[in-house]
Amino acid sequence: MQIRELKIPDSYEITPKQFGDDRGVFLEWYRFDKLAEVVGHPVQLRQANTSVSKRGVVRGIHFADVPLGQAKYVTATHGAVLDYVIDIRVGSATYGQWDSVLLDDVDRRAIYLSEGLGHAFVALTDDATVSYLVSDTFHAEREHGIDPLDPEIGLVFPEGAGEPLLSPKDTSAPTLAEAAVAGLLPTWDDMRAYYASLDAAHVAGEGE
């Protein structure tokens, strides 16, 4: 597989190598060791989620308190979505910026985003099925959202997605500025320290 860092630090696009024949296709869509080589530590997976969305559905922007936070490894097993990673780390050089990756059942790419980053996607097809592996289980009291239509962030949705369809929870979520004032956002320095602690724990574990 090929792994490319996105313009938001600590997020990556993963393109698997596919092997096709007259029976169908085989691929490795997740390899903990390959990802660890670029991230600095293997991801401790604790939960797997799947969502099915009709065209136009927007899910996000979501993030969780750190520690532990939720690092996410996301792919589309059916249909297509445009997946977004948003830098919500106060003090980051790319704070408030985003990057996106097309996830579909053709190229079968995945996206990885580290703890402390915001995540969202828009469904480009009906029955778009997204599966993602996360580094911690769901804790409602530690989960937060930012309005995906916040003009300060300026997510761009493809015309083919149609009118954005949001849940009441996402519609009522604060803007990035409001979340910052409320003290909900992680900081760049705190996240750098957290990532370093995960790297150090991995190195220590290898030395045992």
- Let me know if 62 is a catalytic residue: yes
Choose, from 41, 62, 119, 144, the residue flagged as catalytic.
62
> CB-hemisphere CA count at 13 Å for 121?
29
CB atoms within 10 A of CB 144: 18
CA distance 187 to 207: 31
Only one residue has tokens 């922007």, namely 61
- List helix spans (H) across 148-187: 168-171, 176-181
CA distance 66 to 166: 26
CA-based angle 188:205:71, to the nearest 5? 35
Choose, from 112, 132, 194, 195, the residue flagged as catalytic.
132
- Let me know if 78 is a catalytic residue: no
CB atoms within 10 A of CB 139: 11
Q: Which residues, in sequence order, are bridge partners of residue 58?
A: 122
Under 8 Å between Cβ of 177 and 95: no
Strand runs labelled E in 31-177? 47-53, 58-64, 72-78, 80-86, 98-104, 110-113, 118-123, 128-134, 143-145
**Residues identified as active-site:** 62, 132
